[in-house]
Amino acid sequence: MSNFDVLIINVYLLAIFTNLIKTKTITQIYRFFKLLVVVLIVFVIIAAFQDGIPWHELLLKGLPLLLLFVVTVQTEVLLILKKMGVKGTNFFSNTIEDTVKIELIKSIDYLSSKKIGALITFEKTSSLDEFIATAYPINAQLNHELLSTIFFPSTPLHDGAVIVRVNNIICAGAYFPPTERLDIPKSLGSRHRAAIGISEITDSLTIVVSEETGKISVAVGGYLDFDVTKESLLLYLEKHLQS
Protein backbone atom coordinates (compact mmCIF):
# COMPACT_ATOMS: atom_id res chain seq x y z
CA MET A 1 0.00 0.00 0.00
CA SER A 2 1.46 3.37 -1.04
CA ASN A 3 1.83 6.46 1.13
CA PHE A 4 -0.98 7.99 -0.88
CA ASP A 5 -3.37 5.13 -0.02
CA VAL A 6 -2.49 5.27 3.68
CA LEU A 7 -2.99 9.03 3.84
CA ILE A 8 -6.25 9.05 1.93
CA ILE A 9 -7.72 6.37 4.24
CA ASN A 10 -6.67 8.43 7.27
CA VAL A 11 -8.28 11.55 5.81
CA TYR A 12 -11.54 9.67 5.15
CA LEU A 13 -11.62 8.41 8.75
CA LEU A 14 -10.71 11.80 10.25
CA ALA A 15 -13.25 13.70 8.14
CA ILE A 16 -16.04 11.28 9.07
CA PHE A 17 -15.06 11.47 12.74
CA THR A 18 -14.96 15.29 12.60
CA ASN A 19 -18.50 15.45 11.23
CA LEU A 20 -19.73 12.97 13.85
CA ILE A 21 -18.41 15.02 16.79
CA LYS A 22 -19.69 18.33 15.42
CA THR A 23 -22.54 18.58 17.93
CA LYS A 24 -20.91 16.59 20.73
CA THR A 25 -17.82 18.59 21.61
CA ILE A 26 -16.68 22.14 22.26
CA THR A 27 -16.07 24.48 19.34
CA GLN A 28 -12.29 24.65 19.73
CA ILE A 29 -11.87 20.86 19.50
CA TYR A 30 -14.20 20.68 16.50
CA ARG A 31 -12.24 23.41 14.71
CA PHE A 32 -8.94 21.69 15.57
CA PHE A 33 -10.08 18.48 13.87
CA LYS A 34 -11.30 20.45 10.84
CA LEU A 35 -7.82 22.00 10.61
CA LEU A 36 -6.28 18.51 10.77
CA VAL A 37 -8.47 17.45 7.85
CA VAL A 38 -7.21 20.39 5.79
CA VAL A 39 -3.57 19.63 6.70
CA LEU A 40 -3.94 15.96 5.75
CA ILE A 41 -5.54 16.97 2.43
CA VAL A 42 -2.35 18.93 1.68
CA PHE A 43 -0.22 15.88 2.54
CA VAL A 44 -2.42 13.71 0.29
CA ILE A 45 -1.74 16.04 -2.64
CA ILE A 46 2.02 15.98 -1.92
CA ALA A 47 2.02 12.17 -1.62
CA ALA A 48 0.12 11.87 -4.91
CA PHE A 49 2.87 13.76 -6.75
CA GLN A 50 5.67 11.88 -4.96
CA ASP A 51 4.16 8.48 -5.77
CA GLY A 52 3.41 9.49 -9.36
CA ILE A 53 -0.29 8.65 -9.04
CA PRO A 54 -2.00 8.72 -12.47
CA TRP A 55 -4.66 11.40 -12.89
CA HIS A 56 -7.48 8.90 -13.45
CA GLU A 57 -6.61 7.09 -10.20
CA LEU A 58 -6.29 10.39 -8.35
CA LEU A 59 -9.76 11.44 -9.51
CA LEU A 60 -11.24 8.04 -8.66
CA LYS A 61 -9.89 8.06 -5.11
CA GLY A 62 -9.90 11.78 -4.52
CA LEU A 63 -13.34 12.90 -5.75
CA PRO A 64 -15.30 11.35 -2.84
CA LEU A 65 -12.68 12.82 -0.49
CA LEU A 66 -13.17 16.25 -2.03
CA LEU A 67 -16.94 16.02 -1.45
CA LEU A 68 -16.38 14.95 2.15
CA PHE A 69 -13.94 17.82 2.60
CA VAL A 70 -16.50 20.34 1.29
CA VAL A 71 -19.11 19.00 3.73
CA THR A 72 -16.63 19.34 6.59
CA VAL A 73 -15.67 22.96 5.87
CA GLN A 74 -18.88 24.08 4.14
CA THR A 75 -19.52 26.92 6.61
CA GLU A 76 -16.10 28.49 6.06
CA VAL A 77 -16.33 28.06 2.27
CA LEU A 78 -19.78 29.66 2.06
CA LEU A 79 -18.82 32.55 4.33
CA ILE A 80 -15.72 33.23 2.20
CA LEU A 81 -17.75 33.11 -1.02
CA LYS A 82 -20.33 35.45 0.46
CA LYS A 83 -17.62 37.93 1.47
CA MET A 84 -16.28 37.70 -2.10
CA GLY A 85 -19.70 38.77 -3.33
CA VAL A 86 -20.81 35.45 -4.84
CA LYS A 87 -24.58 35.74 -5.26
CA GLY A 88 -27.31 34.98 -7.76
CA THR A 89 -28.35 31.52 -6.61
CA ASN A 90 -30.81 30.27 -3.99
CA PHE A 91 -28.06 28.00 -2.69
CA PHE A 92 -26.54 31.05 -1.02
CA SER A 93 -29.75 32.57 0.31
CA ASN A 94 -32.72 31.83 2.50
CA THR A 95 -35.57 34.06 1.48
CA ILE A 96 -37.99 34.99 4.24
CA GLU A 97 -41.38 36.41 3.25
CA ASP A 98 -42.43 39.89 4.36
CA THR A 99 -45.51 38.53 6.16
CA VAL A 100 -43.31 36.17 8.16
CA LYS A 101 -40.94 39.02 9.03
CA ILE A 102 -43.90 40.99 10.40
CA GLU A 103 -45.07 38.02 12.47
CA LEU A 104 -41.55 37.46 13.79
CA ILE A 105 -41.03 41.12 14.78
CA LYS A 106 -44.44 41.14 16.45
CA SER A 107 -43.54 38.04 18.46
CA ILE A 108 -40.07 39.35 19.39
CA ASP A 109 -41.62 42.64 20.51
CA TYR A 110 -44.12 40.77 22.71
CA LEU A 111 -41.52 38.45 24.23
CA SER A 112 -39.18 41.38 24.88
CA SER A 113 -41.87 43.49 26.57
CA LYS A 114 -42.85 40.58 28.85
CA LYS A 115 -39.21 39.59 29.50
CA ILE A 116 -39.82 36.08 28.21
CA GLY A 117 -36.58 34.36 27.23
CA ALA A 118 -36.34 33.07 23.66
CA LEU A 119 -33.82 31.51 21.28
CA ILE A 120 -34.71 31.49 17.57
CA THR A 121 -32.29 30.19 14.95
CA PHE A 122 -32.68 30.63 11.20
CA GLU A 123 -31.06 27.93 9.10
CA LYS A 124 -29.19 29.21 6.06
CA THR A 125 -26.82 27.13 3.92
CA SER A 126 -25.35 25.06 6.76
CA SER A 127 -27.70 22.21 7.60
CA LEU A 128 -29.09 22.06 11.14
CA ASP A 129 -30.53 18.55 10.68
CA GLU A 130 -28.37 17.15 13.48
CA PHE A 131 -30.02 19.49 15.97
CA ILE A 132 -33.47 19.12 14.45
CA ALA A 133 -33.30 15.33 14.83
CA THR A 134 -33.17 15.56 18.64
CA ALA A 135 -35.76 18.35 18.98
CA TYR A 136 -39.57 18.34 19.01
CA PRO A 137 -41.01 18.56 15.46
CA ILE A 138 -43.35 21.46 14.67
CA ASN A 139 -43.38 21.92 10.86
CA ALA A 140 -45.71 24.92 10.75
CA GLN A 141 -45.47 28.38 9.24
CA LEU A 142 -44.00 30.92 11.60
CA ASN A 143 -46.60 33.20 13.18
CA HIS A 144 -46.77 35.44 16.22
CA GLU A 145 -49.13 33.28 18.27
CA LEU A 146 -47.28 30.00 17.75
CA LEU A 147 -43.81 31.44 18.35
CA SER A 148 -44.87 33.32 21.48
CA THR A 149 -46.65 30.29 22.90
CA ILE A 150 -43.63 28.03 22.49
CA PHE A 151 -41.50 30.27 24.72
CA PHE A 152 -44.14 30.95 27.35
CA PRO A 153 -42.64 30.14 30.79
CA SER A 154 -43.29 26.69 32.29
CA THR A 155 -44.15 25.13 28.92
CA PRO A 156 -42.10 21.99 28.06
CA LEU A 157 -40.26 23.60 25.11
CA HIS A 158 -39.51 27.10 26.39
CA ASP A 159 -35.89 26.37 27.37
CA GLY A 160 -34.65 25.12 24.01
CA ALA A 161 -34.26 26.82 20.65
CA VAL A 162 -36.73 27.12 17.80
CA ILE A 163 -35.22 26.35 14.39
CA VAL A 164 -36.70 28.14 11.38
CA ARG A 165 -36.13 27.01 7.79
CA VAL A 166 -37.19 29.66 5.27
CA ASN A 167 -40.70 30.54 6.54
CA ASN A 168 -41.48 27.52 8.71
CA ILE A 169 -40.79 26.60 12.32
CA ILE A 170 -39.24 23.16 11.85
CA CYS A 171 -38.79 22.27 15.51
CA ALA A 172 -38.65 23.53 19.08
CA GLY A 173 -36.66 22.45 22.10
CA ALA A 174 -33.37 22.20 20.18
CA TYR A 175 -30.10 22.43 22.09
CA PHE A 176 -26.81 23.82 20.75
CA PRO A 177 -23.24 23.45 22.03
CA PRO A 178 -22.38 26.66 23.92
CA THR A 179 -19.38 28.76 22.97
CA GLU A 180 -16.21 28.18 24.97
CA ARG A 181 -14.92 31.69 24.44
CA LEU A 182 -13.49 33.29 27.58
CA ASP A 183 -14.19 36.88 26.53
CA ILE A 184 -17.97 36.51 26.84
CA PRO A 185 -19.35 38.60 29.76
CA LYS A 186 -20.45 36.44 32.67
CA SER A 187 -23.71 38.36 32.75
CA LEU A 188 -24.79 36.62 29.55
CA GLY A 189 -26.70 33.41 30.19
CA SER A 190 -26.94 30.01 28.55
CA ARG A 191 -29.16 31.24 25.69
CA HIS A 192 -26.58 33.82 24.59
CA ARG A 193 -23.73 31.30 24.86
CA ALA A 194 -25.71 28.76 22.82
CA ALA A 195 -26.51 31.43 20.20
CA ILE A 196 -22.83 32.30 19.80
CA GLY A 197 -21.92 28.60 19.80
CA ILE A 198 -24.21 27.67 16.91
CA SER A 199 -23.08 30.77 14.97
CA GLU A 200 -19.46 29.61 15.31
CA ILE A 201 -20.05 26.23 13.65
CA THR A 202 -22.75 27.19 11.11
CA ASP A 203 -23.71 30.25 9.07
CA SER A 204 -27.09 30.47 10.82
CA LEU A 205 -28.59 33.63 12.30
CA THR A 206 -29.90 33.44 15.87
CA ILE A 207 -32.11 35.88 17.78
CA VAL A 208 -31.99 35.90 21.58
CA VAL A 209 -34.43 37.54 23.97
CA SER A 210 -33.11 37.88 27.52
CA GLU A 211 -35.52 36.83 30.26
CA GLU A 212 -33.66 39.05 32.75
CA THR A 213 -33.74 42.31 30.79
CA GLY A 214 -35.95 41.69 27.75
CA LYS A 215 -33.15 42.93 25.53
CA ILE A 216 -32.77 41.51 22.02
CA SER A 217 -29.48 40.17 20.67
CA VAL A 218 -28.42 38.71 17.33
CA ALA A 219 -25.66 36.13 16.84
CA VAL A 220 -24.13 35.51 13.42
CA GLY A 221 -20.64 34.49 12.29
CA GLY A 222 -19.44 34.02 15.87
CA TYR A 223 -20.34 37.61 16.76
CA LEU A 224 -23.08 38.69 19.20
CA ASP A 225 -24.73 42.07 18.64
CA PHE A 226 -26.21 42.84 22.05
CA ASP A 227 -29.27 45.01 22.74
CA VAL A 228 -30.42 45.64 19.16
CA THR A 229 -33.51 47.64 18.28
CA LYS A 230 -36.44 46.29 16.26
CA GLU A 231 -35.25 48.41 13.35
CA SER A 232 -31.76 46.89 13.54
CA LEU A 233 -33.27 43.42 13.81
CA LEU A 234 -35.21 44.02 10.62
CA LEU A 235 -31.99 45.06 8.87
CA TYR A 236 -30.33 41.83 10.04
CA LEU A 237 -33.19 39.79 8.59
CA GLU A 238 -33.05 41.60 5.26
CA LYS A 239 -29.26 41.36 5.02
CA HIS A 240 -28.83 37.71 6.01
CA LEU A 241 -32.12 36.03 5.14
CA GLN A 242 -33.23 37.72 1.93
CA SER A 243 -31.72 37.60 -1.54
pLDDT digits (tens, 9 = 90+) for 92-116: 445 677 788 889 999 999 999 999 9
239: Cβ–Cβ under 8 A, 6 or more apart, which residues?
A: none
Q: Are residues 29 and 131 in the same domain?
A: no
pLDDT tens by residue, 158-200:
889 999 998 899 999 999 999 988 888 877 889 999 999 999 9
Helix, strand, coil percent content, the chain, rounded in steps of 5:
50, 15, 35
The C-alpha atoms of residue 103 and residue 52 are separated, in whole angstroms, by: 60
Same domain assignment for residues 222 and 186? yes
- Domain span at residue 232? 91-241
**Whether the predicted pLDDT of 88 surpasses 50:** no
Round to whole Å and give the CA distance between 119 and 84.
Answer: 30
> Is 123 domain-assigned?
yes
78 domain residue, yes or no: no
How many Å is the Cα radius of gyration of the chain? 20
Is 131 in the same domain as 219? yes
- pTM > 0.85: yes or no: no
Number of domains in the chain: 2
